[in-house]
Amino acid sequence: MFYKPGKGLLILLFFVLAFQAHSQQKTNADSIRKKMEWFEDAKLGIFIHWGIYAVDGIDESWSFYNKKVTWPAYMNQLKGFTASKYDPKDWVDLIASSGAQYAVITTKHHDGVALWNTKEKHYSTVKHTPAKRDLLTPFYNELRKANIKAGAYFSLLDWSHPDYPAFIKDSVRYKLEDDPARWNRFRTFFQSQINEISNQFNPDLFWFDGDWEHSAEEWESQKVRAGILQKNPNAIINGRLMGYGDYDTPEQNIPVSRPKYNWWELCMTINNNWGFQHKDTNWKTPMEIITLFADAVSHGGNLLLDIGPREDGTIPEEQRNVLTELGKWNKKHASAIFGTRAGIPQGHFYGPSTISKDSTSLFLFLQGHTSGQILVKGLTNAIKEITVVGDGTKIKHKVVGKISWSPVPGLVYIDIPEGIQDKYITVLELKLEGPVKLYTGHGGFQ
């Protein structure tokens, strides 16, 4: 899907420029705040990378771009893509069980193979694989039956298209300045495919990729955005449109501190790869995924967790297990996750936290099988009650070091008894008198 090590300095430069463009959002945050509310509340989405690359279990698109395999060998996988056991309802049932509020599927990756019956004269699962069908329509229908928001990943670049300049990493078909008519043909092509997706599926969210190879002007990013919003004014667009998106998408590496973006989403694999690979058995455990999820939510972000089905449409058991276990934990701790906002800064509490939308409940995530005492610093509010989320057990606390004549709050020590620990992460709810208020001074006579 994205950048893989070893592509060289030029591609790295592309990504640096792309990151800068993604960070320079041209959209006014206040103008989109209302439509972004469901996204901010959702917290969890499921990413689905499914395509012909699952046949041989090789890198999606990048494998031929980086010359791991030849382009003909890569495209020969078209013959083996059957989707013979594809059950979109099963997929959506699994997604719903995880607690995810939205799902994003690869409508077309950089290899140019569309998973719907595109009208353009180019590769598709309908015309060029044994699957012989549109794979998107039944999936989106099931999502909407389950009241899960529908997202569409779409690669702007297309390394298989004869009118696209790039082909493999050390060669190009042509330079834009030498053949602008050819580039305009490609722009007409990809704009048409985006319009097809918009008109046929009306996604709640567009997830673009591949923008780093050209500028916003060359991609006609403003036109892309305008066309989508003309069809659906409430559609959300990710940040990989050279500055014309609504939110940012850090990839694989979770931020150490809260990102400065208004809205953001961590996209993460369950093993090491986006698409199915037979030899990749480096599965993350449910504990690791739940820890990553809690951290992302604590920093005000979402997690877009990826699964990679096999070519026949079956989902590996290891991925199913992670989503199932994540779902059990989410169901138990839903009040501390969905619809919440970013927690209190590190230093006040050393661990993830969230705050209720009305800011009168503070949720603390206790990683590991914590018992004994934990500490909260700088909490000005009085605490009405502390309970274990999903359990209801009342927890005792005491305030230490509060001086009557000083505005500096005391230290809150909370007793964590044995026997209340969750299998993965225990969560406490601190019900406060009024909205969360923190002291951020330096102590003394302030």
56-115 pLDDT, tens digit per residue, is: 999 999 999 999 999 999 999 999 999 999 999 999 999 999 999 999 999 999 999 999
Nearest by Cα to 200 from 266, 114, 127: 114
pLDDT band at 138 (very low <50, low <70, confident <90, very high): very high
Pair 58, 69: CB distance under 8 Å: yes
Tell me how far apart the 2 most distant CA atoms of the chain are, in Å.
Answer: 78
Work out the average pLDDT over 356-361: 98
Do domains 9-332 and 341-432 share one topology? The answer is: no
What value does the mean pLDDT take over residues 256-284?
93
CB 231 within 8 A of CB 201: no
State the pLDDT at residue 441.
84
pLDDT of residue 15: 42
**What's the confidence (pLDDT) of residue 367?**
85
Prediction pTM value? 0.92
pLDDT at residue 396 in the model: 95
pLDDT of residue 354: 98
Tell me which CATH code domain 9-332 carries.
3.20.20.80
Asked if the model's pLDDT at residue 381 lies above 60, the reply is yes
Mean pLDDT taken over the chain: 92
Please state which CATH number belongs to domain 341-432.
2.60.40.1180
Residue 110 CB contacts under 8 Å (≥ 6 apart), including other chains: 60, 61, 62, 65, 155, 157, 158, 159, 209, 210
Number of C-alpha atoms within 13 angstroms, CB side, residue 418?
0
Which pLDDT score, from 0 to 100, does residue 19 have? Answer: 45
- For the chain, the domains span 9-332, 341-432
How far apart CA 348 and CA 376 sit, in angstroms, is 6
Q: Is the pLDDT of residue 23 over 90?
A: no
Residue 374: strand pairing partners: 414
One DSSP character per residue, 89-125 reads: HHHHHHHHHHT-SEEEEEEE-TT--BSS--SSSS-BH
